[in-house]
Structure 1
Amino acid sequence: MSDSTAPKTSWQRWRMGDLERPRAERPGDRAAQPQRPADKNFDARAELNALRRQVRDQAYQEGHQAGFEAGQKQGYSQGLEQGRRDGEQQAREQAAASLAPLAELAAQFQNAVQTLDRQIADDLVDLALAVGRQLAGEALAAKPEQVLALVRELLHQEPQLGAHPRLWLHPDDLALVEEHLAVELTAAGWQARVDPDLQRGGCRVTGDAGERDASRACRWDMLLAKLRRQPRENET
């Protein structure tokens, strides 16, 4: 076989360096290499973002805490004010409930005092009249001619008693009146009569049309009624 039929290939001379292979990169080799600018920018942005997140989280926590404390303080103040109002209202209600029986007792006491005042007033009137009657009796005994003034008063009033007026007197007073007032009685057309039931110092006048009682008992009763009625009129 001739060499002229064999394919032609390119060839090179073999050298020792051609058999060497690339050496594997070791961890220490990358650290020894200087950091590129792009890597530095990435790390700065990462740190800035982390700082921003930290500041944002801290601000959120502080705002949340401040809002919580403010809300708690406001709620405490509102609760304290509401509690104060509720306490005052409850105190007023309790005071009103406690004072209600006292008000009723005060009203009853006032009524009792008024009743007692009226009773005392009536008792004082009775006492005054009793003393007055005693003194009047003593004065009448010392000065029996007091009946003359009473008879003269009745004569001057000219009571409308109709025809046949008669003057009734105690026996002792009759003699005294006839002695001092006989002319006046005759002029008025009055006739003096004896009434043993009358006390000294009093008299009665009767006629066909009516009667006028001026006895001591009747005059005392009228005076007593007037004195007892006067305090009640002053109350109204």
Structure 2
Amino acid sequence: MSSALPKEKQTAYQRWEMASFDAPPPPPLPSLQQQQESEKAEASARVKEQLASVLEQAHNEGFSSGQEEGRASGFAEGLEKGHAEGFAEGIKEGRELAAKEAQTLQDLAVGFRDEIAHANELVAKDLLDLALDIAKAMLKSALEVRPEIVLPVITEAVRYLPVVQQPALLLLNPEDASIIRQYLGEELSKAGWRISEDAHIERGGCRVDTASNQIDATSSVRWQRINSALGANNDWLAQ
């Protein structure tokens, strides 16, 4: 087979030259203007980079500082608010406790006053009972020693009836009847009175019976009137 190239594929004649074995020439140096522009670009890039770094750092520091200030401010406000609320709550509780204590003291004072008043009433009643007991004992003893002290009692009972309506009866203890006859018998007889003895009537008292009136001046009844006037309840028959 022939290795010849077809005519249409053949090119014009080119001279063959042996390739050089020397090192390639260095690239051309940039001009002064290009070098200045390059340095300006690099400087501008560094400035932009530094500015961006500064801005980022400032932002981070501002954010961090804001957080710290926010925390500190919030803590201070919370502390102040908590202190104020705690102080107000303490004042409120103190006032409530003081009011409660004051009410307790007032209740104690009222109770103490009532107890004192009650004690005074009991003491007064006991003293009154003692006085009545002494008076009763003295009166009964006096009737035995001086039986004539019955005379004023009889005189007072008769004076209740200025106009005597017959029959007029004066009932007395037998021992008192003899004394009345001795001292007032004649006077009473002239006034239309009749003396009658009744052993059920205790010494020192009497009863008056007329056609229209009855007067009980026995010792027990008169004693009961004295007790009622004094607000006491001391029985004449009690020893």
Q: TM-score range, shorter-chain basis?
A: 0.5 to 0.7
| Letter matched to residue 23 of structure 1 | P
Distance 2:61 2:188 in 1: 129
Per-residue displacement from partner, 1:24-65 (whole Å, max 9, x unpaired)?
69xxxxxx9896234334433432343233233223322222
Give the corresponding residue for 1:5.
Answer: none
The aligned runs of 1:88-103 (5 Å cut-off) are none
Cα distance, 1:73–1:207 mapped onto 2, change above 3 Å: farther
| Letter matched to residue 206 of structure 2 | C
Equivalent residues, number:
207
Give the corresponding residue for 2:237.
Answer: none
Per-residue displacement from partner, 1:158-197 (whole Å, max 9, x unpaired)?
3899653322112222222223223553465332211112
Distance 1:162 1:73 in 2: 109
Among all aligned residue pairs of Structure 1 and Structure 2, give the percentage whose two residues are the same amino acid. 28
Cα distance, 1:64–1:183 mapped onto 2, change above 3 Å: farther
Give the corresponding residue for 2:50.
Answer: 47
Cα distance, 1:61–1:24 mapped onto 2, change above 3 Å: same
The aligned runs of 1:220-235 (5 Å cut-off) are 220-228=223-231
Give the corresponding residue for 1:56.
Answer: 59
Shift of 1:141: 2.8
Cα distance, 1:183–1:24 mapped onto 2, change above 3 Å: farther
The alignment partner of 2:201 has SS state of coil
Give the corresponding residue for 1:11.
Answer: none
Give the corresponding residue for 2:10.
Answer: none
Distance 1:81 1:187 in 2: 104
Given the alignment, which residue of 144, 147, 150 partners 1:144?
147
The aligned runs of 1:38-187 (5 Å cut-off) are 38-79=41-82, 82=85, 121-158=124-161, 163-182=166-185, 184-186=187-189
Distance 1:86 1:159 in 2: 86
The alignment partner of 1:40 has SS state of helix
Contact 1:161 1:209 in 2 (8 A): no
Give the corresponding residue for 1:212.
Answer: 215
Cα distance, 1:229–1:128 mapped onto 2, change above 3 Å: closer
Per-residue displacement from partner, 1:82-119 (whole Å, max 9, x unpaired)?
5566678789999999xx9xx99999998887776655
| Letter matched to residue 132 of structure 2 | L
| Letter matched to residue 51 of structure 1 | V
Structure 2's unaligned 5+ residue stretches are 1-21, 29-34, 234-239
Please state which structure has a larger fraction of its residues in helix.
Answer: 1
The alignment partner of 1:69 has SS state of helix
**Are residue 192 (structure 1) and residue 208 (structure 2) matched?**
no
| Letter matched to residue 217 of structure 1 | S
Structure 1's unaligned 5+ residue stretches are 1-18, 26-31, 231-236
Contact 1:204 1:211 in 2 (8 A): yes
Cα distance, 1:220–1:77 mapped onto 2, change above 3 Å: farther
Cα distance, 1:58–1:121 mapped onto 2, change above 3 Å: same
Cα distance, 1:49–1:196 mapped onto 2, change above 3 Å: same
Distance 2:42 2:93 in 1: 74
Distance 1:84 1:149 in 2: 83
